[in-house]
Amino acid sequence: MPAPIILFVYNRPEHTRRTVASLQACDLARESHLYVFADGPKTPADAPNVQAVRQCVQSVEGFGQVTVTAREENRGLARSVIGGVTEVLREHGRAVVLEDDLVFARNYLQFMNEALDTYQARRHIFSVSGYSYPLPVPPDFADDVYLLPRASSWGWATWADRWAAADWQVADYAQFLGSRAVQDGFAAGGRDLVYMLRKQQLGRIDSWAVRWSYAHYKHNAYCLFPVKSKVHNTGNDKSGTHSPRTTRFRTEVSDAPFQLTPDPKADPRLIASLQKFFEPSYVRKLINRFTLR
């Protein structure tokens, strides 16, 4: 049976409808259990759109089974994701995790499920992403997948034992702050991660994803990506709480067949491209220098 799918929704009805329709068209959708977690309204002004989203997901068909959990209170994205993923993994042991602003290649679920099967015993692979950053792939790179020391939050999957290894409180944050070597090690996945973790611990952002990437770093682990992206994010249009308008993450969704490399290795050239892609600008570095104290 395919891994269960977890979909987190809030107050974007059009994005939600587009995501659900794209997911319904995926191979394996009709055999999959879809869990939907709908967060409660943060303010009274959010209530109409929250209700519209709930009406959309309550009538969803096209899956083996659909379970909708509608929260009365507003938990926020981080608490919603951590709690919902933990709940489903406790029962199923693995899961594919989505938010409400994604569209998919037809073979997206096939890719995710085959990867979950293939790499379950590869403990250095902590997660699988269906989205792939628009990084230049070396001409001599022959595989259909690659590893990066950074987790993805756009159409990803994991196993219960990896998820259980994450420390959501970041208990060693004091050591992180006091060690340039640790910060540089974490920055292998992008220097912006260091700033984001500091903002998270200062309470300035509400991010589960940066803490999930930190768990990858702490365990010398990687996220596995497809060379040809199976996911496109439609939320970089200022419609979401954490999504400014930008086109820099745009990718073309590919239905191309794929072959999973049994034991993929991390390619230093791709990691260098990742670091360059996420290198903060000079102005951003100055802002962070004077505000993250």
In this structure, what DSSP letter does residue 155 have? S
For 172, the 3-state DSSP assignment is coil
- Its sign, for the CA torsion 224, 226, 230, 232, is positive
Q: Confidence class of residue 197 from pLDDT cuts 50, 70 and 90?
A: very high
* Pair of tokens at residue 155: 């159409």
In this prediction, residue 292 carries a pLDDT of 74
Which residues lie closer than 8 Å to 48 by C-beta, 6 or more apart? none
Q: Which domain holds residue 166?
A: 5-291
**Strand-pair category, 5-9 with 33-38:** parallel
Q: How many domains, the chain?
A: 1
pLDDT for 14 beyond 60: yes
Residue 245 pLDDT exceeds 60: no
For residue 36, pLDDT over 90 is answered with yes
What average pLDDT does this structure show over 124-151? 97
Q: Are 102 and 22 in contact (CB under 8 A)?
A: yes
Over 90: is that where the pLDDT of 280 sits?
no
Q: What does the pLDDT look like over 214-236, one tens digit per residue?
A: 999 999 999 999 999 999 999 65
pLDDT at 293: 63
pLDDT over 70 at 33, yes or no: yes
Mean pLDDT, rounded, for 104-123: 98
Tokens of 109: 């679920």
- In the predicted model, what is the mean pLDDT of residues 81-89? 98
Nearest to 222 by CA among 171, 152, 153: 152
What is the pLDDT confidence band of residue 237, given thresholds at 50, 70 and 90? very low
Which H helix or E strand runs over 275? helix 268-277
Q: Which residues 6+ apart lie within 8 Å of 200 measured at CB?
A: 170, 206, 207, 210, 211
Choice between 136 and 244, residue whose per-residue pLDDT is larger: 136
What CATH number should be reported for the domain holding residue 254?
3.90.550.10
Instruction: List, in sequence order, the alpha helices (H) in 25-106.
Output: 47-58, 77-92
Higher pLDDT, 241 or 110: 110
Largest pairwise CA distance in the chain: 55
